[in-house]
Chain A
Amino acid sequence: MDKAMNVPQDKGMPAAKSSRVSLSRTTRRRYLLFILLVAPAFLLRLITAAYPILQTIYLGFTNLSILKGTNDFIGLDNYLAMGNNIGVRSATTFTIVFILTTTMLDLLIGMLIALLLNANFRGRTFARTINLIPWAIPTIVAGYAFRWLLDDQFGLLPYWVTQLTGLRPAIFINPLASQIAVILVHAWKDAPFMAIILLAGMQGIPEDLYDAARVDGANGWQRFWMVTAPLIMPLTITMGLFRLVWSLGSFDLVYGLTFGGPGVATSVLALQVFREGILFFKFGFASAISVILLILVAIIGVIGLWLFRKTEVTY
């Protein structure tokens, strides 16, 4: 690259040699080019990510509220107030339950789908194609579609349950049933994506490893545990960590499916931030809740680094 913008060269001197001679100037030029090219990306991240994060942390210590007109530094008061805020307390608990269960379900179901898509059968292309549909459907649309599918009066699934058992399930007025619904619908939306990644990982495994296992008399189940599982373990851990972090910020699905209800049973921290910040304009308090989210991200990050070290030693 440095050679592109080269200074006019001495006549008769080979290009490669001359660039080595004027190294310092071309190097400077190269650095400048690098900076110019990455500048737009980093400026964007600076303005809309780095600076806002610092702002969030600062605002978390204030009682900035547009409706009340307050804007004072109040130290840890927001954090102390969370202890008494049933919405935030319940959202914290459910967020942790939600990210752990959905991540495990994502990995488990994603693995099952990947195994299916990797198997040899008629209809595999069809299966691989429709597998992208849950990923592609807007999350908010999926939320409403399932809300309607699970509607206690005219939803298809409760209707079938009633036909089969005579029971009349009303999912969205039952806290536990609503929580399970949020977790399962989230898995419906995201497990196929996980499957795509895991499938790509499986396809990268050399076929002769399976042949060797076959020669040793390993059956399908054994081949999965001896060859597939250990080889895609690092990828699985990476994706699991990504998924944990991503589901922390997951907002659309809960917004559409339950809006946190009934009561605050399915509210997650992301929804609380939106409610307090964007609906009630309590910027200070909403920022403090965001900080809790950031702390959770940091905890997952530390666990992640520790896990990576461990897997590095193991393999």
Chain B
Amino acid sequence: MNKPLAHISWPRIFNSIPVYLAFIVFTILVLLPVYWMTRSAFAISTDLIKLPLVYFPPATLRNFATLMEQVPFGLYLRNSLLFALSTTLATLLVSYLAAYAFARIRFPGSSVLMWILVLSMALPDIGTIVPLYRILKTLHLSDSIAGITLILTSTLTPFTVWVLVSFIKQVPYEIEEAAILDGASLPQILWHILLPVTIPGLVTMGLINFVNAWNNLLYPLSFTTSPSAKTLSVAITEIYAGFSPWGKPWELIMAVGVTMTIPIVILVLLSQRSIIRGLTGGAIK
């Protein structure tokens, strides 16, 4: 009985060697920049400019303390959170309403409208930056979190609608139908009947939009100038632009990088299934 087993196991081990090699290469490539950033963020600056390189310099939180002293770091962090959260919520609200209409209400030309919305994703954000700058001025929303929230909400809405439509379509219509026959109003249906069953879809798109907003550079960089509106993504570019006597303050740049990366990576690792479902929800049906 042992013979066939041995016979099978040899080629199997042989087959899996390339897979494990690929796995190792993949892991190193993905994690190397993360390691480098983390190592530099928690090191003192003199440890970063030693040769031969110090792979694991003693860890310290000094860089974060320096950031707190030299820039309004807490304020930037608050702005980033505020920007990301309000964009996420506004996008979900606007998209949920539209997605419900597209998924459930018959309307002549509804699919054309949907296509227009989805195709508008193809417009490069940068292509409208100059007019948007002027529009925000006109609306008295320049240099404010509200202004950049408005614009990013608009940018993220088409994809969110697209994915939410497919989520809502998966919910059986019978539940709503019963509620409608019972005389439920539209707000009641949206809030009490459909919302609970659409929660997974909303959570998914909420996470994806939060990541997108938290990571967004273009809008805060273009439209905010005062510390009360600047986000961490702008802060990191400003610290990079500054010089210290020894060159770029890499320990500070990487400390901001780590601050921006940690919450996002934790969020993503905790909810990866949900995120993957959202990312693939629009493309694969």
Are A116 and B128 in contact, with the CB atoms below 8 A? no
Would you give 22 A-B contacts (Cβ < 8 Å), ordered by A? A33-B101, A41-B97, A41-B98, A41-B117, A52-B135, A56-B128, A59-B131, A127-B27, A131-B30, A134-B30, A138-B215, A138-B264, A145-B33, A154-B53, A245-B122, A245-B124, A251-B125, A255-B237, A273-B127, A277-B133, A290-B129, A297-B123
Nearest-neighbor residue (CB-CB) of B248 within chain A: A148
Are A156 and B36 in contact, with the CB atoms below 8 A? yes
Are A197 and B279 in contact, with the CB atoms below 8 A? yes
Contacts of A15 in B (CB 8 A): 181
Are A138 and B105 in contact, with the CB atoms below 8 A? no
Partner of A273, one of B126, B217, B268: B126
Surface stretch bound by A, among B1-9, B61-69, B148-156, B196-204: B148-156
Q: Confirm or deny: B111 has a beta carbon within 8 angstroms of a beta carbon on chain A.
A: no
Q: Confirm or deny: B51 has a beta carbon within 8 angstroms of a beta carbon on chain A.
A: yes
Q: Confirm or deny: A137 has a beta carbon within 8 angstroms of a beta carbon on chain B.
A: yes
Segment 235-285 of B: residues with Cβ below 8 Å from A: 236-237, 240, 248, 250, 253-254, 256-257, 260-261, 264-265, 267-269, 272, 275-276, 279-280, 283-284
Q: Confirm or deny: B144 has a beta carbon within 8 angstroms of a beta carbon on chain A.
A: no
Nearest 5 CB-CB pairings of A with B:
A249-B124, A52-B131, A55-B131, A52-B128, A37-B101
A positions within 8 Å CB-CB of B: 1-5, 15, 30-31, 33-34, 37-38, 40-42, 44-45, 47-53, 55-56, 59, 112-113, 116, 119, 121, 123, 126-142, 144-146, 148-149, 151, 153-154, 156, 159, 188, 192-193, 196-197, 200-201, 204, 220, 235, 238-239, 245, 248-249, 251-252, 255-256, 270, 273-274, 277-278, 283, 286-287, 290-291, 293-294, 297, 301
State the Cβ distance, A98 to closest chain B Cβ, in Å. 13
Segment 201-242 of B: residues with Cβ below 8 Å from A: 211, 214-215, 217-218, 221-222, 233, 236-237, 240
Are B135 and A4 in contact, with the CB atoms below 8 A? no
Q: A127-B23, A141-B37, A141-B260 are in contact. Are A48 and B135 (CB under 8 A)?
A: yes
Q: A4-B186, A139-B215, A154-B48 are in contact. Are A34 and B127 (CB under 8 A)?
A: no
Q: Which of B22, B33, B276 has the most CB of A within 10 A?
A: B33
Chain B residues with a Cβ closer than 8 Å to the other chain, count: 97
Q: Confirm or deny: B10 has a beta carbon within 8 angstroms of a beta carbon on chain A.
A: no
Q: A145-B33, A200-B276 are in contact. Are A278 and B129 (CB under 8 A)?
A: yes
Are B23 and A251 in contact, with the CB atoms below 8 A? no
State the Cβ distance, B178 to closest chain A Cβ, in Å. 11
Are A116 and B26 in contact, with the CB atoms below 8 A? yes
Are B154 and A47 in contact, with the CB atoms below 8 A? yes
Partner of A133, one of B30, B189, B218: B30
Are A33 and B105 in contact, with the CB atoms below 8 A? yes
State the Cβ distance, B93 to closest chain A Cβ, in Å. 8
Nearest-neighbor residue (CB-CB) of B267 within chain A: A136
Contacts of A145 in B (CB 8 A): 33-34, 36-37, 254, 257
Contacts of B95 in A (CB 8 A): 41
Q: Confirm or deny: B94 has a beta carbon within 8 angstroms of a beta carbon on chain A.
A: yes
Partner of B254, one of A144, A245, A278: A144
